[in-house]
């Protein structure tokens, strides 16, 4: 199934998820560094990264939902997609709680704020696997005509037949 939310011939959702993924995972790594070093600057940076990651995650979700609505009903991809989307929503809520708990003293986060971030990372790991399942196994968001010799998505050339694919019977 080809993505319905595209820019310059490529699916938008996979391009946008790198921002919240990087920000939110790194914020948790900064929490770990804060726990080891006590660096208030690192903790404050984690706070700001969480805020930016939540905003980036909300933006990245929009083309994801557009693609999910285009998946045919009754398919495994539709079921996996809804769990993936809901898991990411839970991830953003958990990080939002973590951010909220830090807001008054971002340089000294409480253990509860860090636990919410850890829970979000665990949910995100499951959701990332589901996202891989959608793209790699089920082909959601992938051009069904693509092959190893396909021309640039910016060209208007016809996609040649993939020589590794047997001819239709």
Q: How many CB atoms are located within 10 Å of the residue 121 CB?
A: 18
In this prediction, residue 142 carries a pLDDT of: 73
Helix, strand, or coil here: 102? Answer: helix
- pLDDT per residue as tens digits for the range 12-29: 888 899 999 999 999 999
In this prediction, residue 15 carries a pLDDT of: 86
In this prediction, residue 93 carries a pLDDT of: 98
In this prediction, residue 118 carries a pLDDT of: 98
Low-confidence residues of the chain: pLDDT under 50 = none
pTM across the whole model: 0.84
Q: Residue 41 and residue 48: Cα distance in Å, rounded?
A: 11
In this prediction, residue 136 carries a pLDDT of: 83
In this prediction, residue 139 carries a pLDDT of: 81
């Amino acid at each position: 199934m080809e993505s319905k939310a595209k820019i310059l011939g490529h699916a938008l959702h996979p391009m946008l998820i790198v921002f919240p993924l990087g920000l939110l995972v790194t914020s948790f790594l900064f929490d770990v560094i804060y726990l080891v070093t006590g660096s208030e600057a690192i903790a404050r940076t984690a706070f700001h990264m969480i805020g930016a990651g939540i905003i980036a995650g909300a933006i990245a979700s929009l083309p994801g939902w557009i693609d999910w609505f285009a998946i045919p009903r009754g398919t495994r991809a539709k079921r996996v997609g809804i769990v993936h989307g809901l898991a990411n929503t839970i991830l953003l809520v958990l990080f939002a709680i973590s951010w909220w708990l830090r807001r008054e003293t971002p340089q000294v986060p409480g253990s509860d704020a860090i636990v919410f971030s850890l829970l979000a990372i665990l949910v995100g790991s499951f959701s990332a696997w589901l996202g891989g399942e959608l793209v790699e196994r089920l082909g959601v968001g992938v051009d069904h005509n693509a092959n190893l010799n396909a021309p640039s998505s910016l060209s208007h050339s016809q996609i040649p037949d993939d020589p590794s694919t047997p001819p239709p019977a």
